[in-house]
Each structure stands twice: as structure tokens, then as C-alpha cells.
Amino acid sequence: MNGRYRRITPEADGSLRSLTTGLLLRTEGKRLRLVDAATGEPLLWDEEKNSEISRERAARQAAEKKADQEATARRALEEELEQLRRELKRGS
């Protein structure tokens, strides 16, 4: 307090709780992991963010491809149905 160093008592798991930032500071190997103390969610490192972005992009592209395929199949079925209706009309 008042600009003076104050020792942080480690949590049971060895992490340190920063009251200033609301984060838990935890070591992972030789790195420091920051964890949101309120939710328990880790803050992602850059490479984790990039991997997540790549996974989300791939999932979005796969969903768009599937939607395109379904739309193409639907149009083909609608065209086939219309053709059958025309043939039925001619046969009446």
C-alpha cells in the first residue's frame, strides 16, 4: 500500500491472485499463464489465439460449403419437381 511492496500469499494451487488486475498468475512450464479469477478462463497466448482463429475459420468455411451444397441440391430437386409437374400437365 502507499506505493510499497506487499507480498502476495499464494493460492492453494501455487498461483498468485492479483487484486489489481483480477487475474490469477500461474506458471505453465517456463511460461506464465494469466487466468481470469472470476471465470477461471485462461487468457490465450498468441499462438493459441491464432489456432482458435484458424479452427473457427475452417469451421465457418465447412459450414458455408455445406450450405452451398444443400442449396444446389435443393435447386436441383425443385427443377426436377417442376419438370415432373410439366410432364404431368402434358399427360392430362
Per-residue pLDDT, 1: 60
Instruction: Provide the CB-side half-sphere exposure for 92 (13 A, CA).
Output: 6
Residues 6+ apart with CB under 8 A from 17: 8, 11, 23, 24, 25, 37
pLDDT value for 92: 67
Quick one: pLDDT at residue 19? 86
Q: pLDDT confidence of 5, banded at 50, 70, 90? A: confident
| Position 20 pLDDT exceeds 90 | no
pLDDT tens for each residue of 46-74 = 999 999 899 999 999 999 999 999 999 99
Choose among 58, 56, 76: nearest CA to 66: 58
Domain boundaries, the chain: 1-43, 45-92
